[in-house]
Amino acid sequence: MKSISLAEPGKFEQKNIEAPGEPGEDEALIKIHKIGICGTDYHAYRGKQPFFSYPRILGHELGVEVVALGAHVKHLKVGDKCSVEPYLNCGSCMACKNGKSNCCEKMRVLGVHVDGGMSEFIKVPASKLHTSAILNYEELALVETLGIGCHAVNRAEIKTGQKVLVIGAGPIGLSVLEFAMIKGAQTTIMDLNTDRLAFCKKYNKAHEFIQADAIPEGLESAFEVVFDATGNPHSMKNAFKYVGHGGKLVFVGLFQGDYAFPDPEFHRKEMSILASRNSLPADFTYIIEQLEQKKIDVQSWISREIPFEEVITAFDGLLTDQTLVKAVITV
């Protein structure tokens, strides 16, 4: 079967590899139809993804079809269309025991720590498949991205009418906006990238739009919840000032380094600072329902569709395309 491996930073190789055999008792053999490309893949390609080893088959945002099932699998049938929850957790650590499989101590993410879905077929634990009879493979591939925002919004426990600022209008910031809007928040999006703000305006992704290099007065201490989805340490530090008294700051974006913050501001406001990582199985179920009910539109995010055979030549261009929101590969 065909497969693309990231041999080393900056170098993909397409080759024919042996197809996976029959699934084990609790496994499913799946055919990959669509693969979303995300920041993690770009970081790995650039050689900037920490704790990443090469060669690695990327691909963790997957829209797939069930081809064969192990004897113990009852919740699926051959032909089912599914989204893959790529977080392979241990089931026995403190986080797993407390229902927080999203931050398992021994987390292995498909396409990051173990080989992912940039192949025709892979085998996965069947419990990691979430099916929908209605959604198409592109929508199913983007459920994982949406999960990042869904989980972050759940962490913040947003209530109707609350003022919410999202900094960073990339796919992750967009996914936060979708669920903040569903919760009935009054949303403001801030970014440096005019094309991304224009995209948000065009598709009504938020109520207000702020150019980050021309910030108007009146935003200080103005929000019940602030999400930083930039991964930029300067933006993350700056985000403190927008949080209102008694408010919350959620770091969805992340960076490799230490973080310092002004204690007087933190205490005066009695601020809650939250990290948000990955998402939970229940988030997948909820997101699929929201997509099926057309409460979320991800089709507008897809600004590039790339045939599998063109991935290697197209990849460099994706890294520099300022207008790109999301690229999806067709296998």
Residues that bind Zn ion (CB under 5 A): 38, 89-90, 93, 96, 104
Buried residues in 244-268 as b, exposed as e (16+ CB within 10 A): beebbbbbbbbeeeeeeeeeeeeee
Q: How far is the CB of 277 from ligand NAD (least distance, A)?
A: 4
- Residue 21 or 216: the one with the smaller Cβ distance to ligand NAD is 216
Task: In angstroms, give the least distance from the CB of 318 to ligand NAD.
Answer: 11
Question: What is the phi/psi pair of residue 137, to 5°?
Answer: -65, -30
Q: At closest approach, how far in Å is the CB of 82 from ligand NAD?
A: 20
Q: What DSSP letter does each residue of 78-103 carry, written as one string?
A: TT-EEEE--EE--SSSHHHHTT-GGG
Residue whose CB is less far from ligand NAD, 120 or 191: 191
277 binds, among ligand NAD, Zn ion, none (CB under 5 to 8 A by kind): ligand NAD
- DSSP classification of residue 128: G
Q: Is the CA virtual torsion 300, 124, 150, 210 positive or negative?
A: negative
Strands 2-8, 326-330: parallel, antiparallel or unpaired by DSSP?
unpaired
168 binds, among ligand NAD, Zn ion, none (CB under 5 to 8 A by kind): ligand NAD
- Does residue 267 sit in helix, strand or coil? helix
The residue with tokens 């065909």 is 2
From the list 152, 279, 290, the residue with the least C-alpha distance to 225 is 152
Closest CB to ligand NAD among residues 21, 257: 257
Minimum CB distance to Zn ion smaller for 69 or for 129: 129
**Residue 93 binding target from ligand NAD, Zn ion, none, CB below 5 to 8 Å by type:** Zn ion
Q: Could you tell me the smallest distance in angstroms from the CB atom of residue 199 to Zn ion? A: 19
Picked from ligand NAD, Zn ion, none, the partner binding residue 90 (CB below 5 to 8 A depending on kind) is Zn ion
Q: Which does 140 bind (CB under 5 to 8 A by kind): ligand NAD, Zn ion, none?
A: none
Which class for 219: exposed (0-12), middle (13-18), buried (19 or more C-beta within 10 A)? middle
- The continuous run of DSSP H or E covering 189 comes out as strand 186-191
Six-digit token string for 114? 């173990």
The H or E element that residue 26 is part of is: none
Give the nearest distance from C-beta 95 to Zn ion in angstroms. 5
d(CA 58, CA 3): 10
Distance CA(11)–CA(6), nearest Å, equals 6
Q: Which does 104 bind (CB under 5 to 8 A by kind): Zn ion, ligand NAD, none?
A: Zn ion
Q: Decide whether 144 or 224 has the Cβ nearer to Zn ion.
A: 144
> CB of 60: closest distance to Zn ion in angstroms?
6
CB of 280 to ligand NAD, least distance (A): 12
Question: Between residues 234 and 267, which has the closer beta carbon with respect to ligand NAD?
Answer: 234
Residue 231 binding result from ligand NAD, Zn ion, none, given CB thresholds of 5 to 8 Å by partner type: ligand NAD
According to DSSP, residue 1 is labeled -
Find which of ligand NAD, Zn ion, none residue 63 binds, CB within 5 to 8 Å per kind.
none
Identity of the residue, 229 or 288, whose beta carbon is nearer to ligand NAD in the bound complex: 229
CA–CA dist 159, 185 (Å, integer): 7
Nearer to Zn ion, 38 or 124 (CB): 38
Tell me how far, at minimum, the Cβ of 64 lies from ligand NAD, in Å. 20
Binding stretches for ligand NAD (CB under 6 A): 38-39, 148, 167-173, 190-193, 196, 212, 229-232, 234-235, 252-254, 276-278
